[in-house]
Amino acid sequence: MAVLEVHDLASGYEGVQILWGVDLALEPGKLTTLVGSNGVGKTTLLKTVMGLIRPLSGTVSFQGKDVTTMSAHARAHAGMVLVPEGRQLFTEMTIYENLEMGAFSPRARKTFHQNLEKVYELFPRLAERAHQKAGTLSGGEQQMVAVGRGLMAEPEVLILDELSLGLSPLLALTLFEALTRLKKTGLTMLLVEQNVTMALAVSDYAYVLAEGKVHLEGPARELSKNDEVRRTYLGI
């Protein structure tokens, strides 16, 4: 059974429909990526899945339960965790304090120290600078904090919006390597990413969104060899 499933989802903003009948499913323990050009509805899909936007029609199911009408905070408590585009850190707070904010739910507080140790192991730089204000960090370091904060919430599914946006190739590679390590732990993840080459390289399954609909889907390795994907998104 899929951990997270979207069926025939339609959504949009202020009377403008952006998504049209989207179907998507996340297999347990797999890294699924969603790619597409700017403006096709990737972030709209994530916000609808997380309950930040109410869908026009269709359903969102999490661990076999219909959560379409569930509030955003209830979904977060249930284990649906979003690492948002632009990081959205508490810049005047330290790295440690930002990570602490991630452990907001009762179940996450119970495993706070274990999860903190895992985050520091995944990103040793955060341990070295734990008491440094988040606003003084580089973009890559801030993204590490954002991912770490998401992991502190004890997610059943971790959703990442534009992981490598604005980062140097080296820092982007560090974060993609972190995803590979997280995948080995059995964590289910959904990645929205403009770096299509890297996203397909680390993912198990992929969806291509175009004009508000799923245009293509399949195992990531197969899509990376697809002529249309190579021409449109990989520049080959």
More confident residue, 102 or 38: 102
Q: What is the CA radius of gyration of the chain?
A: 17
Q: Write the pLDDT tens digit of every residue in 122-150.
A: 999 999 999 999 999 999 999 999 999 99
User: pLDDT of 170-197, one tens digit each?
Assistant: 999 999 999 999 999 999 999 998 888 8
150 backbone dihedrals φ, ψ, rounded to 5°: -65, -40
Mean pLDDT over 42-59 rounds to: 96
The answer, yes or no, to whether residue 32 has pLDDT greater than 90, is yes
pLDDT, position 87: 80
pLDDT grade for 39, boundaries at 50, 70 and 90: confident
The percentage of residues in the chain with a pLDDT greater than 70, rounded to a whole number, is 99
- What pLDDT is stored for residue 118 in this prediction? 97
Q: Which stretches does DSSP call E strand in the chain? A: 4-13, 16-26, 31-35, 57-62, 65-66, 80-83, 157-161, 188-192, 205-210, 213-219
Contact 19, 26 (CB under 8 A): no
Q: Where does the pLDDT of residue 1 fall: very low under 50, low under 70, confident under 90, or very high at 90 and above?
A: confident
Does pLDDT of 11 surpass 90?
yes
**pLDDT score for 69:** 96
Residue 68 reports pLDDT greater than 90: yes
CA distance 177 to 170: 11
Examine the pLDDT at 236 and tell me if it is beyond 80.
no
What average pLDDT is seen over the chain? Answer: 94
pLDDT at site 37: 84
CA–CA distance, 44 with 19 (Å, rounded to integer): 8
C-alpha span between 143 and 228 (Å, rounded): 31
Q: Note the pLDDT of residue 133.
A: 97
pLDDT at 235: 66
Q: Would you state the structure tokens that stand for residue 102, as one six-digit string?
A: 């991630």
pLDDT one-digit tens code per residue, 72-123? 999 999 999 999 988 889 999 999 999 999 998 888 999 999 999 999 999 9
Structure tokens at 129: 């600078």
What pLDDT, on the 0 to 100 scale, is given for residue 234? Answer: 67
Instruction: Output the DSSP codes for 91-147.
Output: TTSBHHHHHHHH--SHHHHHTHHHHHHHHHHH-HHHHHTTTSBGGGS-HHHHHHHHH
Residue 207's φ and ψ, nearest 5 degrees, are -120, 140
pLDDT at 231 exceeding the cut of 90: no
Q: What is the pLDDT of residue 232?
A: 80
